[in-house]
Structure 1
Amino acid sequence: MSNRRCFMRQKTMIANDANKTGRRRRPALPLAMIGCAVAIAVMWLPKGAAYGQVVPYASSVYELSESVVVHEADASLMVQLEQARRAMKAGQYEDALGILIRVADMGSDSLIDVTGELENVPRRYVSVQQYCQAMLLRFPAEAVAEYRRLVDPAFAAWFERGRQNLDEDMLQRVVDQGLVSSWADDALWILGELRLRNGDPIGARTCWEQLLPIEDHAAFPSWLSVYDSEYSPAEVRARLILADVLAGRRKEAEEEAAAFAELHPDAVGRFGGRDVKLVDAVRTLIEESRHWALPHGKTEWPEFAGAATRQRRVVGKPDFSRVLWQLRLPSPPWSEITAWSPAPEAIPGSAETRLAPLSYYPIILGDYVIVAGENTLYVVDKATGKPAWGQEPAMLRLGDQAGVLSRLPRNTIGVPRYTVSSDGRRIYVPITWLSASDSEPQSLQTATTSELVCLDIQGQGRMLWRKSPPEADLAFAGAPLCLGEQVVVVLRRDGAPARVSVAAYDAATGELQWQRFVCSGDSPGRGLFPECVSLLAAADSRNLYINTNMGAVAALDRRRGTIRWITTYPRATRGDLADPDPWMYRAPNPCLVDRGTLYVAPADSPEVFAFEARTGRMMWHSGPETERIRDLLGVIDDRLIASGDRLYWIELRGSGAGRIVARWPDGHEELGFGRGLLTNSTVYWPTQEAVYAVDAVTGRPIDRHELLSKGAAGGNLAAGGGVCLIAEPTRVTAFPLLETDSDQQRPDGAKR
């Protein structure tokens, strides 16, 4: 492809953050970083533009800048931080502390580049508050004692309130704002216990890791820990091993247990409610875990990819021998291309075409199957496929149907993707639609309107509230995540530059809780051509994660929306719309979160990237050999399984991390046709004519389920609640999902 040479050059320039800061001492244990809304998620941009006009001066060849604009700290704030550094170096600790406390208390949303002094590494930005905490960690003991004298009373009150009420948010505030205070270690210990009790072992591990102080704070650390702790390092490390075992990270647990035996061979501590010799307790734990039964997962499919982490292992076995029902859907709109020639019909990297894209991503919720389309919501009975509410399956229509276009605006980049998500109580529908000009229908003069609509499931779709984007030039870009009493949605503004933001709304009232600008940068449309964009957030127990597809990945606090970090990655800086690269059609492509690591396959790079979820540090990246990957499906047995023209297995650990270690089929044919799904032992991968069952560990084909003789075809898969769905270009077909005990989790040592 045209970008390969560029990327081979960039690849030699990327260095792991940790390699550049290898002088710092790290804890002995390996570091691991670590729930109905319906969303119609297509953007037609730019707003209010005359899309039908041919732009004679706009070439199909585009160039993208590698620079990404974030909300960096202004000069006055940087001056204050420099003053604090100088005062600290001169031993004027009281002056330095006063500056840092004042700056941290400002609660600034601005960010600081912590890789500014390093060359040829991805830029990594953190909040001003985090940066101040890192500076405080470099202070000598006498200065920390003075800091604690000043701030401990306030943090003690927060800690007691959090401890008495088991308030995770309050305890997390102690950690975020008072990591150097005397109360941070107690808050982290209790937070870890609460998260473990709530079934979040990776969240627990994240807390307990911070109880192991970093001894060398000479440079900005890749992660932050307490200044000191009253908790025994042996007891802390034993709990890290416990968290790994409960998270299914047995290999990591075994490695850590070996290191534990060297570090703490005779340590005694509290573990499992008893005072025990810790090295024997962790060995027993690991051995017993080999015989634990696999916990059952959710039986529904409430959002894209089945979960907020954007990966899900289905419980059961699809039966493709019998069709339950079918739902006819309209053909997605398509665009006439006049600004560049030739106009490719095939979408590179799969069997999908631009005139018949795989636009539908259904969800399964209770007794319902819900499908979002262009300005329309379909709700059918899961067992029969008949209308669930009223006489027609299409129960929700917004906008003037006479004005709905059967085609996209001319010269639209990309294809529509309609995503859906659910919290089981209310329905949230972000819809962006077009109204065509009556005077010039052939030129397709258009205007764009975007709204977020809340509907009541118990009221069979009764509208509860509707909201426009918080800013007039933004549009809802994808299905919202439902996080308790908040719904969080990504917004985008097209133009030059394009802009990505995130907003949270109160689930019951629609009141805007917070809005946060993430970044801006170049996009292939350059403000000249409209773009179909689908951006979805991912989440774990602590953070939201945003793949912007504009050279940056971001983590935000899921409760308050504050940015924790933003990390850049190398983009493909040149492309041709007349000969599009296969990675350009990666959508939806949110981050995939797995046990403290983010995996990202952006639409502006042929590569796949891995980031530490807590810090944003880039752990590894693939080469351009992953250019034909479209979807990241999940992680099994320390390998990332991805699909596109075929199935891929990517190594996650060791010196081969980021390398493709297996692929199927081995031929040159392009068979992939839609997003597949995983069980604990099998990958179900759709093609145009069949669904293949492939061993998830060995990569060997198990079975071929022919579809054409059943009156079906390939498409995007979803499964749960006794049904398996295939969303074809103009139809959803339902098959039985059989309950079975044969699909058990393989031992970590299963032979490949």
Structure 2
Amino acid sequence: MHRLLPLPLLLLASQVLAFEEFWPVPPVSTTEARVLAVTSNVERELAQIDTLVEAGAWGEAVDALLRLSDESADEMLAITDNYYLPVQTATGMRIARWPAAGLAVYRQRADAAARSLYERGIRERDSQALAAVVDEYFASSAGDDALLALADMALEAGRTNEARGYLLQLSAATLAPNGLPWGVALGELDLEDNKVRDAVLAQVTSAKVPTDSSLVYPDTDIPVAEIMARLAMVSIRERAFDRAARELAVLQLADPTAEATIGGRQANLAEALTATLQAAREWPAAAPLSDWPTFGGNAARSGVAQSFGDLSQVEWRRPLVEAPTRVAQSQVLINLNERFARPVAMAPKQLFVYPLFAGSAVTIEQQGEWLALDPQTGKLLYGETDEPLAGEQADQPIARVENRNNPVQRPLGQAQLQLRVQAGGRGGVIIQNGPAQQRIIIQGRAVNGPVVLGNAIRGFQSTYLQPVPPAAISGSLLYHVTSEDSRTGAPQYRLEATDLSAEGKLRLQIEAGEGREFSGPPVVTEEHIYLPLRDASAGGRIAMACYARTTGRPLWHSEVASITADGADQSDVLVAGEGMLYLSTDAGVIVAVRASDGRVMWARTYKRWNSIKPNDLSQVTSRQHGTAMFAPGALVCMPSDSPSLFALDPVSGRTLWVNDQAWSVDQLLGVAAGRLIASGRELWMIDPATGQTEFQWPDSPAAGVTGSGRGCLAGDEVFWPTERSIHVFSAATGQQTRNPIALDNLGGVGGANLIPCGDGLLVATKKELILLGDKPPVAPKTPPAEPKLSQSLPPTDIYD
């Protein structure tokens, strides 16, 4: 007789009536991007060249490598499993690793052309000629001279990231054994430790190339001290003073007596830079932004606005058409005994609008139409006339709000989850949504009804933000992406430039083309317009395109990745900085493209979260749309499909740091007071050079405070919206600098997007757009009374 085994716990029903209290797991996305790597023919040719190198057939190897570099220059080659470089760059890296015999043969073939380009570049101050030396003849005798010249030109122009990138390619002595620059690598080490000092000195002296993915010139004769001095100067210019101090310490280890001509006289490099570093700490901060013309304030997505004064006045407010709710794509996996799992859909969430501001207009998108508002009154600049609501005094402080019963502090009730368990059963319910496994053990006898879960699991509310607005203002023109259905029913995408100073007159129109979609906001410069594209006609590709600003003429089109999509709403956010464009695909790939010609400079993949496995409790986030931010010394990346926050070197694409603690970050706000400011469920302040968390608030879930919306930086203050209020912090100290501003006094709770608007702050709740400032509200103009006709006037018909 066989004995029946006890039945496992069964999940019979999962009702989610108030499930917004959970911090959701992102959907299991089928979207995947892949780098457009080289063909098998190129790989075979490289293998043949490797055979020639092993045999010492240097002449044949050089000829074959130069031919391959010329024919497949811009194709992407996998350097490691997750790092790709153009074939031309990769061939330069290979030649730089050759022994002296092979290097000598290569230079016999390449030096004449390289030297000619270099001399022209110096004579005419032609950076393109110098860049051609680096691109085409990296390991030539002129390669290091060209790198140094390009670094000096970039530093003079204030392009600090670009200068650092060239300097780090000059010598392996600038890199730690793990491949990181000394300014980053020493962030967690103590140079007072003799073992650390000896290790640093050994690497600086030997100049051994640290990793297979490092592009480093093989044998420069430029002194290490001069290179480190320039790196320290780059960090000083960026106001990254701790990083500069670390680089200065390496300089002093390498050669404390090194001298150079500074300010027309010979001086000790270490002493001169020490004095410069001390003086720089008193330098005024960079000029803040007065406008907020695109997402993040600028194309680097790292804008810092001018400081605000008193924000106690509501200067004007206007009602908004509420963004429609939508069912979230996210799911939570409920697991029983680690054997049975069932996804539970999240409740619908609300969207917030993201207004833009530039000089004479505030723009918002409402029901597919862009409205232009007077920033002084909130009234329409053109179109139908309307009257915004009158302003009033904002009620501060709001300490009383903190004492209210917060919804997230309620126990999870039977309406949220129902289980039926066998008599005497014991099982675990795992909510896959946090930095650590969160488990409730259900015990009982013959539980035949709903199981009431206590407050052992605390949930978090999440609000779905409006996708990044596909628009940017430049001058008086609003550049915005729009679409309309064609006769075939497929949307036809285009970019329109409408004149805000001429009642929205259309000035420019650029068609995406059949099967193409402009998938994010444009980056607009004085001469060019850059746009991300999704191209279904090419079998599923992500691309970037450049157009002439005045005519809309296409200048280049660069495909950066192939992609398989699941149809989910997607917003691609280009990030621009110092002649480069960066795109995080939210599908496993990040790419960097040179803005001048569309050449892909590097591409890399990263670790993606995976919520398919029932027992995978990886740290995952609720990011709707990932993005990146161009910061001093780092490209900070926050893809929606990554469990981490990480930074890459903007020039090389090397990983600088990874912060696994900040898994809940869903907004990168910028850098203020030397700190990277990010937000999500909490507010984060992070060292942008090392990735170390320096401040996190609140530090306990028991605080009942949850971020909801996108904040902003103004001066050295951080404005961070939560579900019920706007909190203001000092970026330098992390202390609150103002009384919180109650959102329930500004049209309701739930969160908001915050946009700097001149001297005021735009608060976009789900119902209203409100301008806070210190000016009294604008009183509506009273029309003059109708004049009364005198009895002595003749009849009016004589004037007809």
Given that 1:432 and 1:476 are in contact with CA atoms closer than 8 Å, whether structure 2 keeps it comes out as no
CA–CA separation in structure 1 for the residues paired with 2:724 and 2:141: 63
1:466 Cα offset (Å): 2.2
1:626 Cα offset (Å): 3.5
Residues 203 and 537 (structure 1), Cα distance of their counterparts in 2 relative to 1, 3 Å cut: same
Aligned-pair identity (%): 26
1:718 equivalent among 755, 760, 773: 755
Match of 1:418, as an amino acid? Answer: P
Structure 1 unpaired stretches of 5+? 1-59, 117-122, 347-353, 395-412, 438-445, 739-752
Structure 2 residue 244 is the aligned partner of structure 1 residue 260: no
1:644 equivalent among 653, 659, 680: 680
1:381 equivalent among 374, 384, 409: 374
SS at match of 2:158: coil
Matches within 5 A, 1:514-593: 514-521=556-563, 526=566, 530-574=567-611, 585-593=622-630
CA–CA separation in structure 2 for the residues paired with 1:604 and 1:182: 44
Cα-to-partner distance string for 1:205-264 (whole Å, 9 max, x where unaligned): 222332325677878643323333353332222111111111111111112222212211
Residues 261 and 575 (structure 1), Cα distance of their counterparts in 2 relative to 1, 3 Å cut: same
SS at match of 1:591: strand
1:453 Cα offset (Å): 1.9
Q: What's the counterpart of residue 453 of structure 1?
A: 496
Cα-to-partner distance string for 1:467-504 (whole Å, 9 max, x where unaligned): 3324x333111101124422212223579996422222
Structure 2 residue 348 is the aligned partner of structure 1 residue 357: no
Residues 191 and 457 (structure 1), Cα distance of their counterparts in 2 relative to 1, 3 Å cut: farther
1:621 Cα offset (Å): 2.7
SS at match of 1:253: helix
Structure 2 residue 700 is the aligned partner of structure 1 residue 666: yes
Q: What's the counterpart of residue 109 of structure 1?
A: 74
1:455 Cα offset (Å): 3.5
Matches within 5 A, 1:495-510: 499-510=541-552
CA–CA separation in structure 1 for the residues paired with 2:632 and 2:754: 24
RMSD: 3.6
Structure 2 residue 118 is the aligned partner of structure 1 residue 159: yes
Q: What's the counterpart of residue 85 of structure 2?
A: 126
1:572 Cα offset (Å): 2.2
Structure 2 unpaired stretches of 5+? 1-24, 174-205, 332-342, 388-463, 776-800
Given that 1:583 and 1:629 are in contact with CA atoms closer than 8 Å, whether structure 2 keeps it comes out as no
Residues 204 and 666 (structure 1), Cα distance of their counterparts in 2 relative to 1, 3 Å cut: same
Q: What's the counterpart of residue 506 of structure 2?
A: 463
1:685 Cα offset (Å): 0.8
1:691 Cα offset (Å): 1.2
Structure 2 residue 198 is the aligned partner of structure 1 residue 147: no
Residues 496 and 373 (structure 1), Cα distance of their counterparts in 2 relative to 1, 3 Å cut: farther
Structure 2 residue 654 is the aligned partner of structure 1 residue 617: yes
1:521 Cα offset (Å): 4.5
1:435 Cα offset (Å): 8.1
Match of 1:421, as an amino acid? Answer: A
How many residues are matched? 627
SS at match of 2:296: helix
Q: What's the counterpart of residue 479 of structure 1?
A: 521
Cα-to-partner distance string for 1:516-574 (whole Å, 9 max, x where unaligned): 22223455xx3xxx422211011220321111110121111122222122221122223
Cα-to-partner distance string for 1:28-71 (whole Å, 9 max, x where unaligned): xxxxxxxxxxxxxxxxxxxxxxxxxxxxxxxx997557974221
CA–CA separation in structure 2 for the residues paired with 1:393 and 1:273: 65
CA–CA separation in structure 1 for the residues paired with 2:692 and 2:276: 31
CA–CA separation in structure 2 for the residues paired with 1:586 and 1:662: 18
Residues 451 and 209 (structure 1), Cα distance of their counterparts in 2 relative to 1, 3 Å cut: same
Structure 2 residue 174 is the aligned partner of structure 1 residue 174: no
Match of 2:710, as an amino acid? Answer: R
634-643 vs 551-560, which deviates more?
Answer: 634-643
1:309 Cα offset (Å): 1.9
Given that 2:36 and 2:562 are in contact with CA atoms closer than 8 Å, whether structure 1 keeps it comes out as no
Q: What's the counterpart of residue 718 of structure 2?
A: 683
2:145 equivalent among 182, 186, 194: 186
Structure with bigger RCO (C-alpha 8 Å, 6+ apart):
1
Residues 202 and 338 (structure 1), Cα distance of their counterparts in 2 relative to 1, 3 Å cut: closer
Structure 2 residue 53 is the aligned partner of structure 1 residue 88: yes
CA–CA separation in structure 1 for the residues paired with 2:625 and 2:111: 46
Given that 2:26 and 2:623 are in contact with CA atoms closer than 8 Å, whether structure 1 keeps it comes out as no
Match of 2:634, as an amino acid? Answer: T
Cα-to-partner distance string for 1:682-739 (whole Å, 9 max, x where unaligned): 211113442111232443333212243355764111214323212222432222389x
Match of 1:311, as an amino acid? Answer: S
1:508 Cα offset (Å): 1.7
Matches within 5 A, 1:298-337: 298-317=289-308, 319-335=310-326
Residues 686 and 279 (structure 1), Cα distance of their counterparts in 2 relative to 1, 3 Å cut: same
CA–CA separation in structure 1 for the residues paired with 2:612 and 2:689: 32
Q: What's the counterpart of residue 422 of structure 1?
A: 473
Structure 2 residue 658 is the aligned partner of structure 1 residue 631: no
Q: What's the counterpart of residue 295 of structure 1?
A: 286
- Report the structure number with the largest CA radius of gyration: 2
Q: What's the counterpart of residue 260 of structure 2?
A: 269
CA–CA separation in structure 2 for the residues paired with 1:639 and 1:259: 23
1:84 Cα offset (Å): 1.9
SS at match of 1:305: coil
Q: What's the counterpart of residue 345 of structure 1?
A: 347
Residues 605 and 677 (structure 1), Cα distance of their counterparts in 2 relative to 1, 3 Å cut: same
1:336 Cα offset (Å): 6.6
Q: What's the counterpart of residue 427 of structure 2?
A: none
Given that 1:320 and 1:735 are in contact with CA atoms closer than 8 Å, whether structure 2 keeps it comes out as yes
Q: What's the counterpart of residue 410 of structure 1?
A: none
CA–CA separation in structure 2 for the residues paired with 1:263 and 1:686: 48
Residues 416 and 544 (structure 1), Cα distance of their counterparts in 2 relative to 1, 3 Å cut: closer
SS at match of 2:474: coil
Given that 2:172 and 2:208 are in contact with CA atoms closer than 8 Å, whether structure 1 keeps it comes out as no
Q: What's the counterpart of residue 555 of structure 2?
A: 513
1:365 Cα offset (Å): 1.2
Q: What's the counterpart of residue 33 of structure 1?
A: none
1:115 Cα offset (Å): 1.3
CA–CA separation in structure 2 for the residues paired with 1:78 and 1:338: 40
Match of 1:605, as an amino acid? Answer: S
Q: What's the counterpart of residue 227 of structure 2?
A: 236
Given that 1:638 and 1:653 are in contact with CA atoms closer than 8 Å, whether structure 2 keeps it comes out as no
SS at match of 2:233: helix
1:631 Cα offset (Å): 0.7
1:416 Cα offset (Å): 4.5
CA–CA separation in structure 1 for the residues paired with 2:329 and 2:138: 58
CA–CA separation in structure 2 for the residues paired with 1:237 and 1:285: 14
Given that 1:676 and 1:683 are in contact with CA atoms closer than 8 Å, whether structure 2 keeps it comes out as yes
Residues 430 and 599 (structure 1), Cα distance of their counterparts in 2 relative to 1, 3 Å cut: same
CA–CA separation in structure 2 for the residues paired with 1:110 and 1:334: 44
Structure 2 residue 76 is the aligned partner of structure 1 residue 76: no
Residues 111 and 220 (structure 1), Cα distance of their counterparts in 2 relative to 1, 3 Å cut: farther
Residues 704 and 219 (structure 1), Cα distance of their counterparts in 2 relative to 1, 3 Å cut: closer
1:692 equivalent among 716, 727, 735: 727
CA–CA separation in structure 2 for the residues paired with 1:170 and 1:720: 43
Residues 688 and 494 (structure 1), Cα distance of their counterparts in 2 relative to 1, 3 Å cut: farther
Given that 1:329 and 1:732 are in contact with CA atoms closer than 8 Å, whether structure 2 keeps it comes out as yes
CA–CA separation in structure 2 for the residues paired with 1:539 and 1:391: 37
